Amino acid sequence: MSAEPVLVMPGLEVERISDARGEPAALRAMRRQAREVLAEMVLPDRARHLWRYTDPRLFVPHRESVGAVPTEVRADWVVNGSHSATALIAGGAVRELELADVARRAGVTVTDLHGADVEETLGSAVPPSHGFVEALNTAVWQGGVLVRVPAGVRLAAPIELQIVAGGSGSVATPRVLVLAGESSSFEIVENHLCGTLESSHVLGISELLVGPSAHVRHGLVQRWHGGVIGHLTVRARLARGAKAQLSLASFGGAVVKVDAGALLEGEGAEVETCGVAMGGNRQHLDHHTEHLHSAPRTRSHLDFKVALTQAAHSTYTGLIRIAESAGASEAYQENRNLLLSADARAETIPELEILTDDVRCSHGATVAPLDAEQLFYLLSRGLPPGQAQRLIVYGFLDQTLRRLPQTTRERIEALIAERLHSED
């Protein structure tokens, strides 16, 4: 057996980042510790499901660009609609921050993560040991926000973040930490986009700590341009009675890996993960979801849809783990893939680890081309082929989209329309 090469990334000057940003001691220590974890790591075993279809080496950026002080990048700062808060993260820093009066009065804060006191919280959902990408991000992340919504606060308007990839050869390492107080309720949307058309890496982490009986609706809407190699990790930790809706939408990028999931740690916690991925050209999309049940009476639901054109390739792996301690839990997982060209490819691999008998768990997966009978039906009503195909794809995605919270859904629907019309 040949060993994968050790991930060599020595001498990361993580202190320089802490110095430049005036970070508190806890953050400095966390970076140093992550650097040590990273130094011990080897690249993942490709026989494991998580990396079977995507080469981990693609996500190892050039040594020189890691931790470099980023250059300013241009970014469009357009956020429509009313918001509780907005923030722009670009060039490794928080560039804009706006907090609506109503949110401010309720005690909501959106702050630059570099100066924040997050000793107990940052890294608690995604520790450096999660994987080499996560260890690297924790050691060198730049450009992060901390969103804190106090107990009992329910926000009618969403919080929206624009997170912009860097310029040529750069590596963007954004970090988002969301703290949802007990019984709080709100929607937060992360828009991942590009300021330039050059190739770059993005290695991002978002952590959501959802307090007892809180309800967080989180959207991750990715529309990088075609030169980006990106890896995004999202984890929600759910306390007793907490509820999370995680929405994923992947449109752009050359090679994209998303690892999203929830840790159902409190009794009665619930997560619903819904995702839509649309690939074209020679895009490679790799999505992994994890719903880890460790408390009784927890519920998880997953619905992930993929539509591919041209020579796009998608891989989906979905893990449901129900611990012995998670009796009377329910889990459902469904992944459906629609192939719109003969060259498109998709794999779907469900993984179930059920350690107790007292559960209800089911899963379904399909990979299928466009249905010829559906297409003929629409053609026979006069719809031109392009429009007929679009309608079928809309219908295919619609059942997932209708479950999404409003702002996330609007963002995603606009991107689907843009993508489908560009195919004509």
The nearest distance, CB 81 to other proteins, in angstroms, is: 24
Phi/psi of residue 207, each to 5°? -120, 135
The nearest distance, CB 399 to other proteins, in angstroms, is: 5
Smaller CB separation from other proteins, 209 or 392:
392
Q: Which of 285, 293, 405 is nearest to 335 (CA)?
A: 285
How far apart CA 241 and CA 150 sit, in angstroms, is 17
Smaller CB separation from other proteins, 156 or 414:
414
Task: Tell me if 366 contacts other proteins by CB under 8 A.
Answer: no
Smaller CB separation from other proteins, 111 or 400:
400
Smaller CB separation from other proteins, 101 or 373:
373
Q: Which of 272, 294, 284 is nearest to 344 (CA)?
A: 284
Smaller CB separation from other proteins, 130 or 390:
390
The nearest distance, CB 392 to other proteins, in angstroms, is: 6
Smaller CB separation from other proteins, 202 or 388:
388
Determine the size of the site formed for other proteins (CB under 8 A): 24
The nearest distance, CB 377 to other proteins, in angstroms, is: 5
Contact call for residues 242 and 215 (beta carbons, < 8 A): yes
CA 189-73-117 angle, to 5 degrees, is: 55
The nearest distance, CB 378 to other proteins, in angstroms, is: 7
Smaller CB separation from other proteins, 229 or 392:
392
SS3 332: strand
The angle that helices 14-21 and 132-140 make with each other, rounded to 10 degrees, is 40
Q: Which of 205, 228, 206 is nearest to 58 (CA)?
A: 228
Token pair 């219908």 is at which residue?
Answer: 395
Smaller CB separation from other proteins, 77 or 377:
377
Token pair 């999660």 is at which residue?
Answer: 130
The nearest distance, CB 217 to other proteins, in angstroms, is: 22
The nearest distance, CB 303 to other proteins, in angstroms, is: 12
Can you list the alpha helix ranges (DSSP code H) found in 87-210? 101-105, 132-140
State the binding string over 368-407 for other proteins (x if CB under 8 A, else -). Answer: ---xxxx-xxxxxxxxxx-xx--xx-xxxxxx--------
The nearest distance, CB 222 to other proteins, in angstroms, is: 23
For residue 42, how many other CB atoms are within 10 A of its CB? Answer: 13
How far apart CA 381 and CA 304 sit, in angstroms, is 30
Question: Which region among 209-217, 324-332, 341-349, 366-374 touches other proteins (by CB under 8 A)?
Answer: 366-374
How far apart CA 56 and CA 133 sit, in angstroms, is 9
User: For binding to other proteins (CB under 8 A), which residues are involved?
Assistant: 371-374, 376-385, 387-388, 391-392, 394-399
